[in-house]
Chains A and B, each alone.
Chain A
Amino acid sequence: MASAQAAIVGIGATEFSKDSGRSELRLAVEASLSALTDAGLEPSEVNGLVTFVLDNNAEIAVARNLGADRIQFFARTSGGGGGGPGCIGLATMAIETGRADVVVCYRGMNERSQQRFGQPSGYAGAASSISTQAVDNSWTMPYGQTTPAANMAQSARRYMFQYGATSEDFGRVAVTQRAYAMNNPNAFFYGKPLTLEQHQASRVIADPLRLFDCCQETDAGVAIVLTSTERARDLRQIPVRVAAAAMGIGPQHHNMAPVYRDDIAAAPETRIVGEQLWARSGLRPTDMDLAMLYDHFSCAVLMQLEALGFCQLGEGKDLVRGGELGPGGLIPTNTNGGQLSEAYVHGFNGMAEAVRQLRGTAVNQIAGARHAVATGGSHVPTSGIVLTVD
């Protein structure tokens, strides 16, 4: 038993836009200051920093711009969009072990206006050094499987083939989440409805995936502040305790294209995460009041529901057909609109939504919500957290 427990005590974000007009560093710092204000903590109290490997904002740059002069702990998670809950997990370990007292997890990116993902260069690896990622990419990119959507499409196709799922089922995920975003003033698609017919008429991106199966690209910063549950008692917000955190890499993983494993119509990395989350938290899927599942693509929500144990393999499509992801359903999912309809900030905005739900301050508030699960992206090295209010 760890001597201390960790709680999320502050969340902060910039606006979600397609062109922030500000540096990524400024977005990260704005979000961090916003989260510290939310918590009622001084920036000088920050002594831990956590972000993604691929965040462009170095810890030294964030620390000096926060005026944080004594950083004791800094760490990063790999795996792109899989890493969000992993950041919370690293911060939690630092607090539980006494390595840090106040940790800011941040993600600042101009993903739409500056560095867009899925833009391959002419060569899969730099001439002077050959990374394993470049070598892995060489089995896909030369043939035109160059984008995240293309990688996901191979898995989506098998999911349809093996379980009788359809493009409409993927569309129902997008439509359900858009309905949540309709009430969320911070969502890019606030007030803009989406019908299944519009989903089906949207252009094909990577067949079988259509435009509205794909997450947005967003410029934004989001930050989340953690400290010990003991310290949290004196702070401004209802503490949201990290009941469990976990990471996972599945069998035979190759970048975002793990097509060599036995079953590609599934998210085994998320299953590895889920099994740890339930074991460590002592909670079960049926205890969850909501799920914030990383929706880089609509189909991944269905595979993650299965991997986490909300249903059996192949039954995710039945949950969304039955309206079980919507308000009042079995497991309300991505209640801010998700990355499909609120914003794409590598899952950090989804974790912030879980915190709002447990504080009781969400726009689509689930009455009496006490437990939430949040995941990083499937089909990449991933992570998850279970959050709870006592």
Chain B
Amino acid sequence: MSTPTSGRVRPAMSLDTQFFWDAAARGELRIQRCQSCGRLRHPPGPTCSHCLSFEWDTVAMSGRGTLYSYLVLHHPLPPGFDAPAVVGVIELEEGPRIISNVAGVDPATLRIGEPLEVLFVPQEEGWTAPQFSRPAVHDGGGSSRTRL
């Protein structure tokens, strides 16, 4: 089950969130980090809700995580999708949770807690959607990352 490369709802980007999408376009999953207390936070915002610092930078994530929850939207099909959308809440191994598609899986086989890894799907409208899929099986030689 591939996921759309056009026609999706396009994200609105603010000065607090632009970095996330810029990083995705480069093939990086970057998450905001408080420079005062060091906590990671997602979705990004201007302050740290723990220490209220406005100072932040960003950190590249490993791209590995586990499935925390998921839904399969059958009706109505969302913009850009011509098949039910499989949307997961992925808990990154660094801690933050992120919502995205789980690509390339039969949703009937999804299990909460199963490992997933990020992939990046450029969109025709000029932005890139970070998504997740099951880790490729390493057979000693082939590509380790699914490309959809």
CA distance A147 to B12 in the complex (A): 17
Most chain-A CB neighbours within 10 Å: which of B17, B43, B69, B85?
A: B69
Contact yes or no, A130 B69, CB < 8 A: no
Q: Does A153 contact B (CB under 8 A)?
A: yes
Q: Does A335 contact B (CB under 8 A)?
A: no
A144-B81, A146-B79 known; A134 vs B71 contact (CB < 8 Å)? no
Q: State the Cβ distance, B127 to closest chain A Cβ, in Å.
A: 8
Contact yes or no, B12 A135, CB < 8 A: yes
Q: Does A150 contact B (CB under 8 A)?
A: yes
- A129-173 near B? 1/0 per residue, CB < 8 Å: 011001111111111111101100111011001000000000000
CA distance A205 to B68 in the complex (A): 20
For residue A207, which residue of chain B has the nearest CB?
B72
Contact yes or no, B10 A143, CB < 8 A: no
Chain A residues near B97 (CB-CB < 8 A): 259-260
Partner of B78, one of A120, A153, A161: A120
Q: Does B58 contact A (CB under 8 A)?
A: no
For residue B107, which residue of chain A has the nearest CB?
A207
CA distance A252 to B47 in the complex (A): 13
- B66-93 near A? 1/0 per residue, CB < 8 Å: 0011111111111111001101010000
Contact yes or no, A124 B9, CB < 8 A: yes
A146-B78, A146-B79, A161-B112 known; A137 vs B12 contact (CB < 8 Å)? yes
Contact yes or no, A142 B71, CB < 8 A: no
Contact yes or no, A145 B129, CB < 8 A: no
- A116-133 near B? 1/0 per residue, CB < 8 Å: 001011111100001100
- A264-276 near B? 1/0 per residue, CB < 8 Å: 1000000000000
Contact yes or no, B43 A254, CB < 8 A: yes
Chain A residues near B107 (CB-CB < 8 A): 207
Q: Does B5 contact A (CB under 8 A)?
A: no
- Tally B residues with Cβ within 8 Å of A: 40
Chain A residues near B144 (CB-CB < 8 A): none
A123-B9, A138-B17, A144-B8 known; A206 vs B69 contact (CB < 8 Å)? no
Contact yes or no, B73 A150, CB < 8 A: yes
Chain A residues near B81 (CB-CB < 8 A): 144
- A311-324 near B? 1/0 per residue, CB < 8 Å: 00000000000000
Contact yes or no, A145 B87, CB < 8 A: yes
Q: Does B16 contact A (CB under 8 A)?
A: yes
Contact yes or no, B99 A145, CB < 8 A: yes
Chain B residues near A205 (CB-CB < 8 A): 73-75
Q: Does A203 contact B (CB under 8 A)?
A: yes
Partner of B14, one of A130, A147, A153, A252: A130
Partner of A207, one of B68, B74, B89: B74
Contact yes or no, B10 A142, CB < 8 A: yes
Partner of A154, one of B14, B84, B89, B129: B89
The count of A-to-B residue pairs whose CB atoms sit within 8 angstroms is 137
Q: Does A204 contact B (CB under 8 A)?
A: yes
Q: Does B60 contact A (CB under 8 A)?
A: no
Q: Does B100 contact A (CB under 8 A)?
A: yes
A136-B43, A144-B81 known; A157 vs B71 contact (CB < 8 Å)? yes
Q: Does B101 contact A (CB under 8 A)?
A: yes
Partner of B43, one of A134, A139, A144, A145: A139
CA distance A135 to B112 in the complex (A): 27
Q: Does A257 contact B (CB under 8 A)?
A: yes
Most chain-B CB neighbours within 10 Å: which of A143, A155, A203?
A: A143
Q: State the Cβ distance, B54 to closest chain A Cβ, in Å.
A: 16
For residue B81, which residue of chain A has the nearest CB?
A144
Chain B residues near A158 (CB-CB < 8 A): 68-69, 112
For residue B113, which residue of chain A has the nearest CB?
A161
Chain A residues near B137 (CB-CB < 8 A): none
Question: Which of B's residues lie within 8 Å of A, judged by CB?
Answer: 8-14, 16-17, 42-43, 49, 68-81, 84-85, 87, 89, 96-101, 107, 112, 129, 131
Question: Which of A's residues lie within 8 Å of B, judged by CB?
Answer: 118, 120-125, 130-131, 134-147, 149-150, 153-155, 157-158, 161, 203-208, 252, 254, 257, 259-260, 264
Instruction: List, sorted by A's number, 18 A–B pairs whose CB atoms are closer than 8 Å.
Output: A120-B9, A122-B9, A123-B9, A135-B17, A139-B11, A141-B11, A142-B8, A142-B9, A143-B100, A146-B79, A150-B78, A154-B89, A206-B73, A254-B43, A259-B89, A259-B99, A264-B69, A264-B89
Additional pairs, 4, CB under 8 Å, beyond known A135-B12, A135-B13:
A144-B85, A157-B112, A203-B75, A205-B75
